[in-house]
Structure 1
Amino acid sequence: MSPPGLRRMRADARRNYESLLATAHAMFSEHGTDASLEEIARRAGLGIGTLYRHFPTREALLEALLHDRMEGLAAEAGALLADPSPRAALWRWLTAFTERAFIYRGLPASVMATLRDETSELAACCHRLNTAGAALIRHAQDAGEIRADVAPADVMAMAGAIAWVGEQTPDDPERRSRLLTLLADGLTTGA
């Protein structure tokens, strides 16, 4: 994500910002979201102060890395509201959510911890994503295609848990898909 003032940044500040993001992505991909911020700064060839000037917290760094991905998933949910099969649209989106929303090891736990902080940009981004998913869930419920007695927040929590389990079992790449099928079967109405 580009911060609002990226275009107004001096060229060296912009390079530092982009270098920190690229290095953080590589480090989080390799070591998970608990990767050392000091090491990220060092590998980017910068000091820790520079990292903290751009990203005052780990959550701010995660939000910058995830913003476009999460906003894209939210936009996909909005577009899928027009699909003639609300249930099929919901499962396509939940599949994309479990595959793409949690790209770094440890991210589900980081996100859950952040959700309690209402001032966090990462929490705000997650809230927009959850709201978009909830709209798809309610749309499928209104169409009578999934159970009406299930809270959208619970479905989103289960999808997040499925993403986490998929992360924990990389030797079983089909596990996430099997768990999503179980979730779909459990939510589908008999109609």
Structure 2
Amino acid sequence: MNTPDRRETGSRLPLRADARDNRERILNVAETVFGKGGESASTEEVARLANVGIATVFRHFPTKAALLEAVLVRRFGRLREQAETLLHATDPGTAFFGLFSHLVADAASKIAIAEALHEAGGDSDGDAVQASNALRRAVGALLRHAQDAGAVRDDVELPEVYALLIATSRAAAHAHLDKDVRARMLAIVFDGLAPLPDHRQAST
């Protein structure tokens, strides 16, 4: 009796070491290429810079959208892991504002990749969206820790804070703000998130 191919039963065979290396290299190159070139970048360029054939790229990622989604999932996963690690920080305020700053600084290439995914017909409810939502939840947990520590005003909630994060990220990315302008912009945002002075609280 023939042994059924695992691929026919829905499970995946583990990748060989060289295949794993190729996949990782493709993802690393694709993150750089699409992070810089956005929707105008190509899988052919990824293959060339990763030193693999285009057939190898499509063997791992059948479509351009699949490649871009995998890149974003990995990117969001790294950021989520960073946020979750910061939940154990001794200074929750510094942890929250530090991550906020990092996400804004990281935004330009991430937005370029996301826009390329949208242009390539990516799934609006796919794995990248789920990974983004997981990052949002991790940021929410950091926000609550910072509020409990008295580092962030307690009358704000995640929806408006995340809206600020998205807005400042897009401003920094699309307006090509230099580091000094970005830092001053964030200082204004962070001042608005700071705990209200006692005299202001008393007057409200």
Range of TM-score over shorter length: 0.7 to 0.9
Offset at residue 87 of structure 1 (A): 2.3
Aligned to 1:70: 76
1:46 pairs with one of 53, 59, 62: 53
Contact 2:72–2:114 (8 Å) recurs in 1: no
Does residue 184 (structure 1) correspond to residue 193 (structure 2)? The answer is: no
For normalisation by structure 2, the TM-score amounts to 0.69
Distance 1:12 1:115 in 2: 28
Secondary structure in 2 aligned to 1:170? Answer: coil
Greater gyration radius? 2
Distance 1:101 1:56 in 2: 27
1:130 pairs with one of 136, 142, 158: 136
Distance 2:143 2:113 in 1: 23
Unaligned runs of 5+ in 1: none
Unaligned runs of 5+ in 2: 1-10, 198-204
Letter in 1 for 2:130: A
Q: How does 1:106-121 map to 2 (within 5 A)?
A: 106-107=112-113, 109=115, 117-118=124-125, 120-121=126-127
Q: How does 1:22-41 map to 2 (within 5 A)?
A: 22-41=28-47
1:4-40: CA deviations, max 9, x gaps? 968x224664454345324423422431244223543
Distance 1:87 1:26 in 2: 31
Aligned residues with identical type, % of pairs: 34
Aligned to 1:166: 172
Contact 1:115–1:123 (8 Å) recurs in 2: no
Flag the 1:59–1:165 CA change in 2: closer, same or farther, 3 A. Answer: farther
Secondary structure in 1 aligned to 2:109? Answer: coil
Distance 1:152 1:108 in 2: 22
Contact 1:90–1:140 (8 Å) recurs in 2: yes
Secondary structure in 2 aligned to 1:103? Answer: helix
For normalisation by structure 1, the TM-score amounts to 0.73
State the aligned residue count: 185
Higher mean displacement: 126-135 or 83-92? 83-92
Offset at residue 61 of structure 1 (A): 2.0
